[in-house]
Structure 1
């Protein structure tokens, strides 16, 4: 197992896709750092109508404590898109989705320029809803699906 792996996200309307990312991180390492986007950063990134940071953070912590009680983890606020991965040389891996893969490449380039080892990137495919489209917080907010990917059919 790797020493430490990290992942980050907004984790709005905590759903099956978020669970898949976190589970993958704990398959790779027993020490996982999870960055949760702060309200301020989310606003800068143009994300609107999100649950408050504290609520999102609590949902992540609750899931990890229930599923991985014997593993070490940290849930940190992300005030910038990268958090500790640019400078913490004890982090060797980054778990990303296809949506966040570009951040992984950016972080690896930055680390190499700073003399740190590159990150191993672990790409987790999107979790699909029953309609075959990715589960996303946006779709949940719009009322298209529930957090498990069940489609709400409208008449």
Structure 2
């Protein structure tokens, strides 16, 4: 691998991504910087509400904003966006996930 090559094949990152902000951008940037492919888990409305984090924006709006952000900042990069409706998403059952990217606030649940 060259110095500019991603260190891992597949990274997983998840969140509610409500009102995308600089922290979200940094988290996504870390995931795309770490791996050739990124699986982004986007928390569904009901699951978020069950955890006491009812999003201000509906899932469809958050999905559109996330797609737009990835298109602007990580265009052409391999990725999937999957709905999260349970505590553990693709990182728990996808054998191809090499690394889980978290924030300091969510690392304890990783």
Whether these two folds match at TM > 0.5 is: yes
8 Å Cα contact 2:17-2:66 kept in structure 1? yes
Using the alignment, how far apart are the partners of 1:48 and 1:25 within structure 2? 25
Using the alignment, how far apart are the partners of 1:25 and 1:86 within structure 2? 17
Aligned residue for 2:68? 62
**Structure 1: runs of 5+ lacking an equivalent:** 105-155
Aligned residue for 1:87? 93
Q: Which runs of 4+ in 1 moved over 2 A?
A: none
Rg comparison, structure with higher value: 1
Using the alignment, how far apart are the partners of 1:48 and 1:93 within structure 2? 28
Using the alignment, how far apart are the partners of 1:78 and 1:22 within structure 2? 16
**Structure 2: runs of 5+ lacking an equivalent:** 1-6
Aligned residue for 2:24? 18
Shift of 1:66: 1.3
Is 1:32 the counterpart of 2:38? The answer is: yes
Aligned residue for 1:73? 79
Using the alignment, how far apart are the partners of 1:49 and 1:19 within structure 2? 18
Shift of 1:69: 1.4
Shift of 1:87: 1.0
Is 1:6 the counterpart of 2:18? The answer is: no
User: When the two structures are superposed, what TM-score results if normalisation uses the length of structure 1?
Assistant: 0.64
Report 1:59-138 matches (<5 A): 59-104=65-110
Deviations, residues 88-114 of structure 1 (Å, cap 9, x unaligned)? 11001011011110111xxxxxxxxxx
